[in-house]
Amino acid sequence: MTLLIGYARVSTDTQDATVQRQALESAGVEAGMLFVDEGLTGSTRARPALREAMAACRAGDTLMVTRLDRLARSVPDARDIIDELTKKGVRLRIGESVHDPEDPTGRLLLNALAMVAEFEADLIRARTREGMRIAKAKGKLRGKKPKLTPATEGHLVAEFHSGDFSIHELARRYDVGVATVYRAVDRARAAGTAVTPTLSLVPDTAPVD
């Protein structure tokens, strides 16, 4: 039995993936086969839900996204993902179109879509840098308020390493996004304080879409 596996992504914790979820569910993706990354940009492969979605794919299955930029924001990354899917015998569906990477026209179209997604990402980054430059010049730039205090983040990391809570349980427990939990754990690991209850906290910056 072949499966339709859905993947959605929003780049900040404040964005809502509801529209993507509804589109994927309407296309026939079952709840257990729908994977969502929240607060993560498409320019990085370090996305837990994407890893889970790719792992769930088997030969003959189809991975669906609503738009290619939800899957990747750079041409090399898009090619790597598509090549991985092709090697596994998995088809890629973008919206209503199923693309065959073995077909020259299909590969051309996918490359064109990836180039557009990368171009849009570059434009967004450029506008963000320009906006920050203007705000700084006007003295209006302020750091984003941390979602967790250093002490609270330390307790979160300690509970993660206790093995008693999953990432999603910790996110609900501390009322933060899954990405915030991953960043807290990564910061603790980098600082060498994985189970110390008090950590120094570098304020999160909003990721660029």
Is 97 tagged catalytic?
no
Structure tokens at 96: 């209503």
Residue whose C-alpha is closest to residue 57's, from 69, 65, 68, 66: 65
Structure tokens at 17: 């993936």
Structure tokens at 145: 């308020």
Q: What's the CA gap between 132 and 141, in Å, rounded?
A: 7
Options 11, 43, 74, 162, the catalytic residue: 11
Strand residues in 18-155 grouped as ranges (E): 34-38, 62-65, 91-94, 97-99
Instruction: With H, G, I as helix, E, B as strand and everything else as coil, classify residue 8.
Output: strand
Q: Cα 122–125–126 angle (5° rounding)? A: 85
Q: Which residues are catalytic?
A: 11
